[in-house]
Amino acid sequence: MTVARRHPAQELAAWAERIGAAATDTDETALQKRLAVALCAGTLPLTVLWSAVYLAMHVPVAAAIPAFYSLFTPVNTVIFAWRRDLGLYRFTQLLLILILPWLVTIALGGFRQSSVVIIWAALCPLGSLLLEEPRRTLLWIVGFVALLLVTALLQPHLTPANLPDTFVTWFFVFNIGSVIAITFGLLHYFVGRRNFFQERSEMLLLNILPKEIAETLKAEPRVIAANYDGVSILFADIVDFTSMAAAMTALKLVDLLNDVFQCFDELVDRYDLEKIKTIGDCYMVASGVPRPRGDHAQTLVNLALDMQAEIGKRTFGGRKLAFRIGINSGPVVAGVIGRKKFIYDLWGNTVNMASRMESHGQSGVIQVTRSTFELVGDEFDCVSQGTIEVKGARQLEAWRVVGHKHTDGWVPRIPC
């Protein structure tokens, strides 16, 4: 088997990831460390070349300045890998990137004879923009502009180095082209990593909140609440879960619940419904929020039958499980409240009665209220359970859903 070789830029990024990294680093800190090492160590081949060329052109002072950077940076990077002090590493390297090109400019006699080598100092505020807070970047920008002004004032008093015009011209190309290439490379990497983190954050947010609610909160963080007249709510609960959990290790119990809920999640996605939350072994789903739909009750009963079928034909954690499922339909209030660790939740008597249908149900039974039966009775075989005594409602009529009356238009079941 052949192993694909990575691009040199990818190799550099992978190497930079390991320098100064700590397990406690946030995504932002880890990205800043990678960029800092990539910027500072990644320019070493150029500074070595820079120094060698100037030495060959018999300007030793100008050659010594990039040589100093070429020697200092590896030592500083090793210290950074040992101490993991990003602040010190970042400051010392940015200071060198700002000052050293200016010193080369002075040593060679000004802007023209140095082939505007001071443009390398522009990497200092750029690096600061990627690695630091914006207010600190402003200071580096001021420093860069100040050095430009000082050089312009000193220009008439500087002695130009004796360099051929052809050399000066080609070093213009080298300096400007290299800085632009490095700038685009850093920005490309930064934007790519930023987009990766944003996509991951977006995915996590959409796993917590419905898309419509997430978009609203991102635009304007506030309390969200809305009334919905036609909604169906489903609760599903494992029968004898407490006694089963007492005989299992914590890890096996979590693995079992994860297996069950992943199966249910796939079915919920298949029907474009909204998983609201899980509470212990209880699984709650809503149909008709935040996107109203006329078939909210029928779709939720279809989901319940598919859940029941999947539960019956497979094991979870090596065990056969039985569930109670309860459904109710009616008006609810839905929204997001609070400022921390918020969730999209539903309130109202409709939710309470759906929970009672589950808790007062029987093993392996889908139990629905009259309000749901009146919406689905034409499509599903339902058997009357008579009246049951429910806390908060006294006597409540209930029906047991047996199956479909016909198969026309029935959506094929999708296994987990």
Instruction: Name residue 399's beta-bridge partners.
Output: 368, 384
Q: Three-class SS string for 104-169? A: HHHHHCCCCCCCCHHHHHHHHHHHHHHHCCHHHHHHHHHHHHHHHHHHHHHHHHCCCCCCCHHHHH
Q: Is 373 left (phi over 0), alpha (psi -120 to 50) or beta?
A: alpha
Asked if 155 contacts 60 with a C-beta cutoff of 8 angstroms, the reply is no
For the segment 6-55, what is each residue's pLDDT rounded down to a tens digit?
Answer: 556 556 556 556 676 766 777 778 777 887 888 888 788 889 988 999 99
Residue 232 has pLDDT above 90, yes or no: yes
Split at pLDDT 50, 70, 90, the class of 393 is low
The contacts of residue 39 (CB under 8 Å, 6+ apart) are 93, 123, 127, 130, 182, 186
Q: Which residues are catalytic?
A: 356, 391
Residue 119: what pLDDT?
93
Residue 172 has pLDDT above 60, yes or no: yes
How far is the C-alpha of 129 from the C-alpha of 120, rounded, in Å?
Answer: 15
Residue 18: what pLDDT?
67
Tokens linked to 11: 């190799």
The pTM score is 0.60
Domains present along the chain, CATH in parentheses: 8-206 (no CATH), 222-404 (3.30.70.1230)
Residue 217: what pLDDT?
66
Determine whether 56 is exposed, middle or buried from the number of CB atoms within 10 Å of its CB (0-12, 13-18, 19+): exposed
Better pLDDT: 17 or 64: 64
Cα torsion for 290, 345, 359, 325, to the nearest 10°? 30
